[in-house]
Chain A
Amino acid sequence: MKLESLRKHRRFSRWFAGAFGMNTVLIAGLALPFAVVATSSLKNAAAISILFACITIPTVLLAFLIGKYLPKLLAPVVYSLFSMALLLACTPLINPISPGLSNTLGIYIPILAVNSSLFVLCEQYSAPCSRPIFALVDAVMYSVGFAFAMGLIACIREWLGNGTLWGVAVPGLPFKLAGLQFAFAGFILAAVFSAFFRFVKRTIIWLYYRHDNPLHPKQKTAR
C-alpha cells in the first residue's frame, strides 16, 4: 500500500481544512443555527458571514495569545464576552448591505458570540501547538468555509423560495417553492449539501489512493 500522494494531498489540504475538507458547517457540523435559519436570503447570509469573520479571527488570536494563562473555568467567559464586545462594535459594518438588516436578523446576531465553532477553535489553539501559524490560518479558513456554506444554502433558498438573488428578481423560474423560506428547509438543505460534500471529500481521497495503488488487471475483471 503506497500512500505518498495521499499524504502529500493531506499536507497541502491542511492549509484549506476549514474551508473545504473540514468545512465549518457542512462537514464539521458547527455553527449550524445560522446555516439553518439565517440563510433565508443572500443578504442575511452575507451579513452573518461578515460578522462571523470579524469575531472569529481576533478571538482565536486572543485565545492563542492568552489561552495558556487562563484557568479552564474562566476561559469561555473571557472569550464569549470579548467576542460579544467585538460583535457589538462590528454590527454597524452590515448596515451598508441593507438598512434594517440587523432588525431582520434579530437574535441571530448576538448569538454569534456563543457559537460552537468559536469555542472549538479557541480551545484547540489555547493549548500549546506545534505550528502557531495555523491559529491564524484556521481562523481565516473557518470563516471562509462558513461564508461558503452560508452562501450556497442561501442562494438555493432565496432563488427557489423567493425568485430573487441579492434582492434582484431572477427571471426564468416557473414557480416558487415558498416553503424553502422556513427553517425546516434550512435543515434539509444543510443535510443534502453536507452529504454531497462528504461524498466529494471521500471521492477525492479515494482517487489519490487509487492513483498510487492501481487495481491489478485480475481485480479489474473480478469487479
Chain B
Amino acid sequence: MEHITLFLSIILAAIVMQNAFIMRGLGANKNTLLISSPRRIFLYGAVLTTVCSLSALISWPINYFFLRGPQLEERLSLRYLVTLGCICLVYLLLWYLTWEKAPRLHYHLRELYASATFNCAVLGSLLLAFSENYNLLHTFGFAFGSGVGYTLAILLIYEGRRRIVLSEVPRAFRGLPIILLYTGILSMAIYGLIGHQLPT
C-alpha cells in the first residue's frame, strides 16, 4: 500500500507541482504552444509520453549500475550522452515498429516523431528523475507523469487560447506573448502550492 501511495504521489507531483512545462518551462516553444487542434495535441502528447517512459526504462539500468556514487562527478557528462542516446534509440525503434506493424498509425504520427522526441521536456524530465536517485518504478512513474503533465498543460493552454481569441487583446500581445503571460500567471498560481520553501 505504501509503495502504491508513493508511486502515485510521484506521478501526481510530476503532473502538477513539478509540471515540466508550467513550472520549469521545459518544451516551451512556439511550435508546440500554438498547435491548432486538440487531436494533434493528444497525438503529440501520446508520442512524447511513450518516448519519455520507454527511454526511462531503457536508460535507468545503465545509470543505476554504471553512473552513480563517488564516480558520478566525473561521469556526469557520460550520463547526459547515454540518456540522449537512449532517447534516440527509442525514437528509431518506435519509428520502425509503427512503420512495420501499424502503417496507418505511422502515417498520422510521422510528422510528430522528431519534434516530440527531441523536445527539452523528454531529456529534462529524465535527467531530473536520475538526479533524484529514484528506483526503476519511480523513474518510470516520474517520466510518465511528466509526459502526461506536459500534455495536460498544452491542452489547458489551448483552451485558454480559445478564450483569448474572443477578447480584445492589444495588438503587440497577440499570439505568443499573451500565451506566455497566461502560462506565467498559471505558474504563479501553482507556486501557492509550494509556498515558503520555494526553490530558486
| A interface residue numbers (CB < 8 A to B) | 28-33, 36-37, 40, 73, 76-77, 80-81, 84-85, 87-88, 91, 106-107, 110-111, 113-117, 119, 181-188, 190-192, 194-196, 198-199, 202
Residue among A28, A85, A195 making CB contact with B81, cutoff 8 Å? A85
Bound-state CA distance A77–B131 (Å) is 24
Nearest residue (CB) in A for B26 is: A33
Task: Tell whether, in the assembled complex, residue B200 and residue A181 are in contact, meaning their CB atoms are under 8 Å apart.
Answer: yes
Chain B residues lying within 8 Å of A187, measured Cβ to Cβ, are: 25, 180-181, 183-184, 187
The 4 lowest CB-CB distance pairs between A and B, nearest first, are: A29-B30, A187-B184, A36-B25, A191-B180
Q: State whether A185 and B92 are in contact (beta carbons under 8 Å apart), knowing that A84-B84, A106-B131 are contacts in the complex.
A: no
| B interface residue numbers (CB < 8 A to A) | 23-31, 33, 77, 80-81, 83-85, 88, 91-92, 95, 114-115, 117-120, 122-124, 127-128, 131, 170-173, 176-181, 183-185, 187-188, 191, 198, 200
Bound-state CA distance A190–B49 (Å) is 27
**Can you list 30 A-B contacts (CB < 8 A)?**
A28-B30, A29-B29, A33-B25, A33-B27, A33-B120, A36-B25, A76-B114, A106-B131, A107-B127, A110-B127, A111-B124, A111-B127, A113-B80, A113-B84, A114-B118, A114-B119, A116-B29, A182-B198, A183-B25, A184-B191, A185-B184, A187-B25, A190-B184, A191-B179, A191-B181, A192-B177, A194-B176, A194-B180, A199-B171, A202-B172
Task: Tell whether, in the assembled complex, residue B120 and residue A114 are in contact, meaning their CB atoms are under 8 Å apart.
Answer: yes
Main secondary structure of the interface of A (DSSP, over half): helix
Nearest residue (CB) in B for A37 is: B25
Among B26, B31, B171, B172, residue most surrounded by chain A Cβ atoms (within 10 Å):
B172
Chain A residues lying within 8 Å of B198, measured Cβ to Cβ, are: 182
Bound-state CA distance A97–B127 (Å) is 24
Bound-state CA distance A190–B191 (Å) is 18
Q: What's the least CB distance linking B98 to chain A, in Å? A: 12
Task: Tell whether, in the assembled complex, residue B24 and residue A80 are in contact, meaning their CB atoms are under 8 Å apart.
Answer: no
Bound-state CA distance A134–B119 (Å) is 26
Bound-state CA distance A107–B146 (Å) is 15
Task: Tell whether, in the assembled complex, residue A116 and residue B31 are in contact, meaning their CB atoms are under 8 Å apart.
Answer: yes
Among A111, A113, A192, residue most surrounded by chain B Cβ atoms (within 10 Å):
A111
Q: What's the least CB distance linking B59 to chain A, in Å? A: 13
Bound-state CA distance A182–B33 (Å) is 21
Task: Tell whether, in the assembled complex, residue B92 and residue A73 are in contact, meaning their CB atoms are under 8 Å apart.
Answer: yes
Q: State whether A73 and B25 are in contact (beta carbons under 8 Å apart), knowing that A80-B88, A184-B191, A198-B177 are contacts in the complex.
A: no
Chain B residues lying within 8 Å of A202, measured Cβ to Cβ, are: 171-172
Bound-state CA distance A91–B118 (Å) is 21
13 extra A-B contacts, CB within 8 A, seeds A77-B92, A183-B187, A187-B184? A28-B30, A33-B124, A76-B91, A81-B81, A81-B88, A107-B128, A111-B120, A111-B123, A115-B120, A182-B200, A184-B184, A190-B180, A194-B180
Task: Tell whether, in the assembled complex, residue B29 and residue A73 are in contact, meaning their CB atoms are under 8 Å apart.
Answer: no
Task: Tell whether, in the assembled complex, residue A191 and residue B200 are in contact, meaning their CB atoms are under 8 Å apart.
Answer: no
Chain A residues lying within 8 Å of B131, measured Cβ to Cβ, are: 106-107
Task: Tell whether, in the assembled complex, residue A29 and residue B176 are in contact, meaning their CB atoms are under 8 Å apart.
Answer: yes
Chain A residues lying within 8 Å of B31, measured Cβ to Cβ, are: 116
Chain B residues lying within 8 Å of A116, measured Cβ to Cβ, are: 29, 31, 119-120
Task: Tell whether, in the assembled complex, residue A196 and residue B178 are in contact, meaning their CB atoms are under 8 Å apart.
Answer: no
Bound-state CA distance A184–B194 (Å) is 13
